[in-house]
Structure 1
Amino acid sequence: MSRPPGLGVLTGRRLAVWGDPIAHSRSPQLHGAAYRALGLDWEYGRERVHEASFASRLAQLGEPWRGLSLTMPLKGVAFEAARTRDRAAEFTGAVNTLLLAEGGPHGYNTDVGGIVRFLTEQGVRDPARARIVGAGATATSALMALDTMGVREVEVAARRPEAAEHLMALGERVGVRVTPTRIDVPTGAVDLTIATLPGGADIADATADRLAASGGPLLDVVYGHWPTVLATAWERAGARAWDGSGMLLHQAVLQVRVFVMGDPGSVLPHEDDVDAAMRAALAASVSA
């Protein structure tokens, strides 16, 4: 979706990331660096907001507010709150960005673009077959990212293969063949693996090794618990593995585009400088 019709002039200067838990979020550092690089005197904070209180808290926001970044478990309720949604949000049922403007809130899912941009940056080109580990909410964004990259066959490895039914349905909508399998019984070699499990997920070493042996490079969306069991298995196999910090960076750049330009497809003024500032802030937060 491009800039929503009737968006009007954006005047608010307050933004925040909401979720539960939220203390671990690096969004304030990333966004703060971006707005300083752009010369914007904006406030970007964080707030612990429960799913049950989301609607009432959103209704309290007034004119100074410009937008919100949403993390778990709020992406579903943010989807419901959005009056307009981009394609990625519509297909995944998840919104991680709300633009609070005329005719809004306007909802976006920048996780999809963040995955695509990061993998492209790493040189991943034209994967034919991929695997998603896990079948939760983040797996829908992973599937849409793989569709964007041209993947037509995706294996979903989950503890309960029946949990992947919504991914099979999504695959049918976008033209991707989705095959569920048990996490300990991968069905064949793939060109790329995207792991969407929580950082503390309990996976047997033998299972992780089987996934690594046939998995191609790994993008593990976790960035606070590293290395994960899967990343360690990929290291044993001598294969590439990336944590989720790169995806986090790229989806945040797209969020900044939304908040500044009203459109994730519109390039920021001096975006190379903004990108560099955000990368430096991310590196500093990791080493702190």
Structure 2
Amino acid sequence: MNTGPTARTRLFALLGDPVEHSLSPIFQNAALYASGIDARYMALRCSTEALPALLRGVAEAGGGGNITVPHKEIAMRAVDRLGDAARHTGACNSFGFADGGIWGDNTDVEGFRRALHALLGSSSSGMRVLLVGAGGAARAAVCALLDDGAASITVVNRSADRARRLAAQFGSPTSLQLADRVPPDTFDLAVNATTLGLRAGDPLPLEPGVRAGAALDLVYTPEETPWVRWMRERGIPAADGREMLLQQGAAAFRLWFGQEPPMDVMQRALGLGG
């Protein structure tokens, strides 16, 4: 394969703000090269106003991509048809062009489930879960946790209205509870689905006193996030967002190209081994 782009090279892009920290171009381009696919993957910072036109332009040129914060909900309205996971979560994180139209779907659900199973060595069936956040990533987490059979999910979010909308999205099941602050309980699993930890100086998403058997931070940085480091120093199994990033990216690759991605190549590119 030609190592440089040509007039036939397809463009795939991550659209969001911020995107400067993203590792998606690193592992997706490694996968494209290893698979012999003439395409390039880039991270493009864009505003809310610019998203629909940029998304449609990339897709209609024969490409596709991913959507990250804060555009996953807006992207729902920018595509022609939605997959089941996107409709269920109310968030779109992947898009492409097929059969004369632009499709949108959500691979975060599968990504979260696989990352969680990698951390726990099992499903979350029967577990008591503390979830911080109520945005697109949180909805993907709730979807996966409910499917897994988690015993209870306590959602803590700054905006009570947004938390209520999240509960309504899933029919307000009895296993889903809302709280304006972290209750003084012990949880089997704590999940950070906010952006806290993405920027230097951010406070921890959860108070140091929270008791949990395991921790999954959906944020990732070049080094481990402060919350993951804090948990690991206390002997609590914890993982950052790279495993979920890998798994949702692999699911998107399957949607774009209809073939299995080279998982070992993607893992090595992310420093996850393999």
TM-score, normalising length: structure 1: 0.81
* In the alignment, structure 1 residue 146 sits paired with structure 2 residue 170: no
Structure 2 counterpart of 1:182, one-letter code: D
Of structures 1 and 2, the one scoring higher in RCO (CA 8 A, sep 6+) is 1
Q: Distance in 1 between matches of 2:171 and 2:59?
A: 41
Match of residue 116 from structure 1: 113
* In the alignment, structure 1 residue 208 sits paired with structure 2 residue 207: yes
- Structure 1, unaligned runs of 5 or more: 1-10, 262-267
Question: What SS does the corresponding residue of 2:44 show, helix, strand or coil?
Answer: strand
- Structure 2, unaligned runs of 5 or more: 1-7
Aligned length: 260
Match of residue 94 from structure 1: 91
Match of residue 164 from structure 1: 163
Q: Give the fraction of aligned pairs with identical amino acids, expressed as a percent.
A: 31
Match of residue 14 from structure 1: 11
Query: Are the counterparts in 2 of residues 34 and 277 from structure 1 also a CA contact under 8 Å?
Result: yes
Q: 1:236 to 1:32 in 2, by over 3 A?
A: closer
Match of residue 176 from structure 2: 178
Match of residue 132 from structure 2: 133
Q: 1:171 to 1:57 in 2, by over 3 A?
A: closer
Query: Are the counterparts in 2 of residues 15 and 44 from structure 1 also a CA contact under 8 Å?
Result: yes
Q: Distance in 1 between matches of 2:37 and 2:154?
A: 44
1:198-253 Cα offsets, whole Å, 9 max, x none, are: 2144249xx62232x2x221100110175444324423542111000110011100
Question: What SS does the corresponding residue of 1:231 show, helix, strand or coil?
Answer: helix
TM-score, normalising length: structure 2: 0.85
Q: Distance in 1 between matches of 2:96 and 2:9?
A: 10
Q: Distance in 2 between matches of 1:111 and 1:170?
A: 16
Shift of 1:63: 5.1
* In the alignment, structure 1 residue 277 sits paired with structure 2 residue 265: yes
1:37-66 Cα offsets, whole Å, 9 max, x none, are: 211121222222111111233344475422
Query: Are the counterparts in 1 of residues 15 and 68 from structure 2 also a CA contact under 8 Å?
Result: yes
Shift of 1:95: 0.6
Q: Distance in 2 between matches of 1:172 and 1:80?
A: 22
1:126-179 Cα offsets, whole Å, 9 max, x none, are: 432211012233211111121122214210123454541112213426x45211
Shift of 1:257: 0.4
